[in-house]
């Protein structure tokens, strides 16, 4: 049985396994029962890896994966994956952000109710033979204010459920617009504005460098003493020691946590003895429904990435929430080809690459720039190079990459202006997509040309004198290589010209050397572009 090998480091629901095993071109290897050392051995030659929370896909593990293209996380959190190392190696990292959204949102409300009504403590009291109604007075939710930190997929599911309880909802999210907040039935505020107004605060942000310790001692101090904090997102977003101090000191009424900075939760952690706390062992996705949905979601994403090259949902792809591939792919293809042409003309040496684009896809400018840089670096890099890591590798080489929008574009489906500068000289190439999505190369430096940037291009810089076109055509024709297009651009003011030939096959090196010997020829460059 042949195909790309996909390693399962952790167990996956049967619904996801069926999708992967039914995919022609994939060979699924279940390594969930193997040791870490055995897993490392299994990763040699594997194209894909799927993990859940148990396996750490860190640099040590990835060092054993010499052919990895995709890492899939059956869940939303990525803190057990070294995304930086994966990105540098050109490995797409996928997750399943939708599958467990409902289950986690419901758990957040369950934790809120459990903490507000002190249900776990009351249950324990009854089981121990007591009947202490007065000791467990709680708070009703109706009429109270819920602060939601992060209104992504899970946070936006929490909001309508909280409103069904009659709660007012405030939301803090730097990526949310006021209009979207209104649509959700919430009021958008900054975190500083939200904290003192919330009776309850529920957290729904990922763990990143920006969110680690987001709620520390200062933030907790700004909350009401009667407030209750709920975290079913990621451990580490809340400073747990500061939270324990606030609870022990009575500066906060309670908390309910499903996630922790260290899991399993340490036996000696001060939160274990803090009053008013509900603690659960990371149960956000612990429902059969969530496990099925997550497994199906990640299985489809990994399958499509490995077999169709569809990396649009990769979290480390420089462009999230892309429009359909029919619109994006021709633009990326043109950008990559222009980058390759520019690299040949500058010998792959520059300090700055600048992209300007017009044509209605401006919101994915970073992705278009990544494709252009991929084309530019392809001439000089032998290692893994793709949309995932091209911008990182450019930065490693001290190349600054900028991007900007061109104003209104008429007559074309898209236009790309790409330039490379070494600090002194700058060279610009311009390409367009015609309305049928057909690519054309329209400018090289100061010369206006019109040729399809495909296959093999021969660029001949020459003096604008009689006979040059004939000499070039004769030498090329003698090789038996067919000339698909021949465009001669002239600059009457300088007396210089540029001939661009589209060839069906590349010219032998000896013929290129002969062309350079022609008296009127300044330089000859040959660029091989994939068909």
Buried/exposed code over 30-56 (b: 16+ C-beta within 10 A; e: otherwise) = bbbeeeeeebbebbeebbbbbbbeebe
pLDDT for 325 equals 66
Residues of the chain with pLDDT under 50: 322
| DSSP characters over 11-76 | ---HHHHHHHHTSTTEEEEE-TTS-HHHHHHHHTT-SEEEE-SSS-B-HHHHTT-SS--EEEESSS
CB of 204 closer than 8 Å to CB of 148: yes
What is the C-alpha to C-alpha distance for residues 458 and 503, in angstroms, rounded to an integer? 7
Interior angle at CA 11, CA 8 and CA 13, nearest 5: 110
CB of 480 closer than 8 Å to CB of 431: no
Phi-psi map region of 146: left, alpha, beta (phi>0 left; psi -120 to 50 alpha): beta
What is the C-alpha to C-alpha distance for residues 52 and 177, in angstroms, rounded to an integer? 32
460: enclosing H helix or E strand = strand 456-463
Q: Name 419's bridge partners.
A: 354, 428
CB of 417 closer than 8 Å to CB of 359: no
Task: Kindly list the distances between the CA atom of residue 499 and the CA atoms of 175, 348, 480, 511, in Å, as whole numbers in the listed order.
Answer: 49, 21, 19, 16
Buried/exposed code over 335-365 (b: 16+ C-beta within 10 A; e: otherwise) = bbbbbbbbbbbbebebeebbbbbbbebeebb
Task: Kindly list the distances between the CA atom of residue 205 and the CA atoms of 57, 77, 501, in Å, as whole numbers in the listed order.
Answer: 21, 10, 54
Under DSSP, is residue 441 helix (H, G, I), strand (E, B) or coil?
A: strand
* Backbone phi and psi for residue 470, each to the nearest 5 degrees, phi listed first: -65, -45
Continuous H helices in 350-467: 365-377, 390-396
Q: How far apart are the two ends of the chain, measured CA to CA in Å?
A: 30
Residue 152: half-sphere exposure toward Cβ, Cα within 13 Å: 12
Whole-structure pTM over 0.85, yes or no? no
What is the tens place of the pLDDT at every residue in 47-67?
Answer: 999 999 889 999 999 999 999
CA torsion, ordered 349, 353, 357, 361, to nearest 10 deg = 100
Rg (CA), the chain: 30
pLDDT for 530 equals 73
pLDDT for 138 equals 92
What is the C-alpha to C-alpha distance for residues 298 and 331, in angstroms, rounded to an integer? 27
**Active site positions, annotated:** 234, 263, 282
- Under DSSP, the state recorded for 276 is T
């Amino acid at each position: 049985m042949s195909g790309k090998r996909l390693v399962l480091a952790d167990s996956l629901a049967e619904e996801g396994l069926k999708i992967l095993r039914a995919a022609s071109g994939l060979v699924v290897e279940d390594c969930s029962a193997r040791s870490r050392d055995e897993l490392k051995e299994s990763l040699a030659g594997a194209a894909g890896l799927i993990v859940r929370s148990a396996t750490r896909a860190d640099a040590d593990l990835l060092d054993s994966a010499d052919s990895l293209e995709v890492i899939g996380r059956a869940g939303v959190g990525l803190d057990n994956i070294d995304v930086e190392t994966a990105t540098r190696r050109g490995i797409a990292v996928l997750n399943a952000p939708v599958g467990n959204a409902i289950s986690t949102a419901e758990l957040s409300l369950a934790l809120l109710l459990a903490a507000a009504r002190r249900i776990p403590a009351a249950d324990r009291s009854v089981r121990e033979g007591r009947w202490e109604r007065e000791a467990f007075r709680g708070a009703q939710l109706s009429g109270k204010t819920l602060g939601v930190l992060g209104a992504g997929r899970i946070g936006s599911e929490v909001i309508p459920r909280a409103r069904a309880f009659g709660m007012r909802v405030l939301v803090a999210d730097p990526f949310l617009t006021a209009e979207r907040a209104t649509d959700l039935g919430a009021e958008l505020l900054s975190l500083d504005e939200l904290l003192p107004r919330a009776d309850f605060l529920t957290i729904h942000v990922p763990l990143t460098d920006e969110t680690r310790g987001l709620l520390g001692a200062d933030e907790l101090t700004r909350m009401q003493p009667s407030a209750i904090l709920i975290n079913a997102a990621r451990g580490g977003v809340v400073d747990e020691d500061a939270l324990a101090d606030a609870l022990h000191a009575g500066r906060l009424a309670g908390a309910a946590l499903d996630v922790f900075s260290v899991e399993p939760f340490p036996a000696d952690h001060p939160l274990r003895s803090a009053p008013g706390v509900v603690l659960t062992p990371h149960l956000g996705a612990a429902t059969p429904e969530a496990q099925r949905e997550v497994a199906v979601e990640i299985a489809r994403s990994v399958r499509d990435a490995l077999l169709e090259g569809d990396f649009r949902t990769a979290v480390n792809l420089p462009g999230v929430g892309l429009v359909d591939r029919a619109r994006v792919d021709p633009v990326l293809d043109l950008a990559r080809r222009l980058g390759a042409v520019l690299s040949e003309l500058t010998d792959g040496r520059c300090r700055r690459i600048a992209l300007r684009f017009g044509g209605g896809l401006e919101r994915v400018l970073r992705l278009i720039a990544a494709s252009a840089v991929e084309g530019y670096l392809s001439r000089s890099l032998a290692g893994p190079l793709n949309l995932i890591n091209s911008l990182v590798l450019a930065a490693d080489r001290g190349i600054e990459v900028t991007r900007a929008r061109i104003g209104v574009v008429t007559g074309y489906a898209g236009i790309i202006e790409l330039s490379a500068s070494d600090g002194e000289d700058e060279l610009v190439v311009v390409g367009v997509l015609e309305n049928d999505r057909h690519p054309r190369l329209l400018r090289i430096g100061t010369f206006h040309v019109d040729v399809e940037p495909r296959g093999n291009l021969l660029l001949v810089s020459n003096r604008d004198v009689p006979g040059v076109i004939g000499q070039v055509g004769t030498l090329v024709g003698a090789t038996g290589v067919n000339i698909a297009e021949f465009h001669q651009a002239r600059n009457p003011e300088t007396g210089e010209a540029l001939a661009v030939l589209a060839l069906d096959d590349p010219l032998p090196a000896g013929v290129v050397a002969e062309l350079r010997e022609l008296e009127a020829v300044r330089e000859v460059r040959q660029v091989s572009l994939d068909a």
